[in-house]
Chains A and B, each alone.
Chain A
């Protein structure tokens, strides 16, 4: 049953299974295990980024396609839901049509870019996605009458998903069950389902064909696979998944703007998360996203503590000053890529005797 749910793609390493279980349990019970607004924000972000990073891995790790437009698709999903909620009101109807429209538009864009540029060299596709994504970001910030420009959009979501809504009066483990917690579980379960769907796709005949195309497109053609169609379909699927992740973000934040969805910074974060976790494994997305976001959120605090504790040691305390957290994050990446070139998952699976 469990194997079927995982599409036969089990973690295949004891330590990896343990780590994944820790992440799963932590996220599933986050509101109770780590009460507090900041930790719930972090948990929701991790859920959303697991979907986003996994959808990027579908493209990069399985199909071997480098795209810089992933945040564009993420943004299209987020803006779809945001615009629907702000134009047709904070109800479930808007939520559904906005999400569906976002996913649909993302699919069309991906289809167009794929058919236009996947026929030629891989580098050309990468360049086209970079150009289109940049143009899209400019367009969104220019069309402020629609998108709110740089300020983005603030909107209401259905009341049942906001802190003002109380599901039950009593507290569970000292935590009051309000709409925010319902919203968290909406994000959590949607992310879990989307992840399992992607796990199925990569283990399907289609997913296997993607790996073949990545390995040797020339031979894949010679045995009868139409490589362009496989690459285009992978691009479309990946874009739709990214858009759905964007919709989840839009629902969770009740705000959508360029900085939270479209920025090149997020694109680079996604790339790093895929590489750190392990390309072409999907489980790598879970570990990559979790570790990265935890580091991003808590490294600064941790360093603040360290700097204070070592304030007597002159050079060391300046090195660990909280302002330098980005530097240390960079150092951590370089080390992790150096020591785990196949990512954490690759390393753990190889370590198995």
Chain B
């Protein structure tokens, strides 16, 4: 039998905006059932890296592979169908629809019922149940009937996560999921992410600035800096690296030296 492929891999993935290289030859493989934290200063290219993986941007060069298959040229919904899911750094919801409808639409997409023209949407009880189940998990069930645009920012962030959880893909990418949430809500979301990894054996990529969060959740940290992958390893190792200390914690490097 052939060697088992990593679930997700990027090879020399690069994108240029004019003269600016936002993601610079990033090669990295992600194993099934792991949680990798992606860190780096503002503008390092973390969100852009996600956009290249989930297809919102097309790479200038390099490749994205899912289960060993190249998906670099596929469209966003095609990648979603194959199991790549994404939550956004800037909340990105269906604003005039209700909270429940937002999640129901995801369940409906997953069940591939979008082209069902002649049944009443509300009659698909299983989709509504699925939506309510996810809303209970993220503790939004009491707001289920509200219109998204009037929801407080923190709740919109929770809904953003809820949409990805409802989609339940093989690879989940969270882009600063807890930013803008109140302190008592953060643990709920982190616990959910933890559960996705351990119970569901999903692969998770997490962009996060909070070091304590990363320490508790991540199996591995990769560091992006000016679009390039500058460090990769165990959380404790990577956090100790001078470049991370400097960029992240605002500390002067303990010693000067190159990092791999």
Closest CB-CB distance, A5 to chain B, in whole Å?
11
A224: interface (CB < 8 Å): yes
Other-chain contact of A223, B96, B122, B123, B163 (Cβ < 8 Å): B163
Asked whether, in the complex, the Cβ of A205 is within 8 Å of the Cβ of B116, the reply is yes
A209: interface (CB < 8 Å): yes
A203: interface (CB < 8 Å): yes
A349: interface (CB < 8 Å): no
Residues of chain A with a CB closer than 8 A to B115's CB: 205-206, 229, 233
User: Once bound together, how far apart are the Cα atoms of A253 and B119, in whole Å?
Assistant: 35
**Which residues in chain A, 1-37, are within 8 Å of chain B measured between CB atoms?**
4, 7-8
Closest CB-CB distance, A60 to chain B, in whole Å?
15
User: Once bound together, how far apart are the Cα atoms of A219 and B108, in whole Å?
Assistant: 14
B56: interface (CB < 8 Å): yes
**Which residues in chain A, 191-227, are within 8 Å of chain B measured between CB atoms?**
200-201, 203-209, 211-212, 215-216, 218-227
B243: interface (CB < 8 Å): no
Asked whether, in the complex, the Cβ of A206 is within 8 Å of the Cβ of B95, the reply is no
A136: interface (CB < 8 Å): no
Give how many A residues have a beta carbon under 8 Å from the other chain's beta carbons.
Answer: 30
**Known contacts A219-B92, A221-B77, A223-B80; A200/B120 CB under 8 A:** yes
A97: interface (CB < 8 Å): no
Q: Using CB atoms, name the residue of chain A closest to B119.
A: A204
Interface residues of A: mostly helix, strand, loop or mixed?
A: helix
**Which residues in chain B, 113-158, are within 8 Å of chain A measured between CB atoms?**
113-124
Residues of chain A with a CB closer than 8 A to B113's CB: 205
Asked whether, in the complex, the Cβ of B101 is within 8 Å of the Cβ of A206, the reply is no
Residues of chain A with a CB closer than 8 A to B121's CB: 203-205, 207-208
**Known contacts A206-B115, A224-B110; A218/B92 CB under 8 A:** yes
**Which residues in chain B, 51-95, are within 8 Å of chain A measured between CB atoms?**
54, 56, 75-77, 80-81, 85-86, 88, 92-95
B97: interface (CB < 8 Å): yes
Other-chain contact of A224, B80, B93, B117, B120 (Cβ < 8 Å): B80
A230: interface (CB < 8 Å): yes
User: Once bound together, how far apart are the Cα atoms of A104 and B116, in whole Å?
Assistant: 21
Other-chain contact of A212, B81, B86, B97, B167 (Cβ < 8 Å): B97
Residues of chain B with a CB closer than 8 A to A226's CB: 75, 77
Other-chain contact of B120, A8, A211, A233 (Cβ < 8 Å): A8
Residues of chain A with a CB closer than 8 A to B80's CB: 221-224
Closest CB-CB distance, A209 to chain B, in whole Å?
5
20 A-B pairs whose Cβ atoms sit less than 8 Å apart in the complex = A200-B117, A203-B122, A204-B116, A205-B114, A205-B116, A206-B114, A209-B105, A209-B108, A212-B94, A212-B105, A215-B94, A215-B96, A219-B94, A221-B75, A222-B76, A222-B88, A224-B110, A225-B109, A226-B75, A229-B115
Given A7-B120, A204-B120, A212-B97, 19 further pairs, Cβ under 8 A: A200-B118, A203-B121, A205-B124, A209-B108, A209-B114, A211-B97, A215-B94, A215-B96, A216-B93, A216-B95, A218-B92, A220-B105, A221-B76, A222-B77, A223-B105, A223-B106, A223-B167, A224-B80, A233-B115
Going nearest first, the 10 A-B pairs with the smallest beta carbon separation are A224-B80, A215-B94, A224-B109, A205-B116, A221-B76, A209-B114, A205-B113, A223-B109, A206-B117, A208-B121
Q: Interface on A for B, CB 8 Å cutoff?
A: 4, 7-8, 200-201, 203-209, 211-212, 215-216, 218-227, 229-230, 233, 237
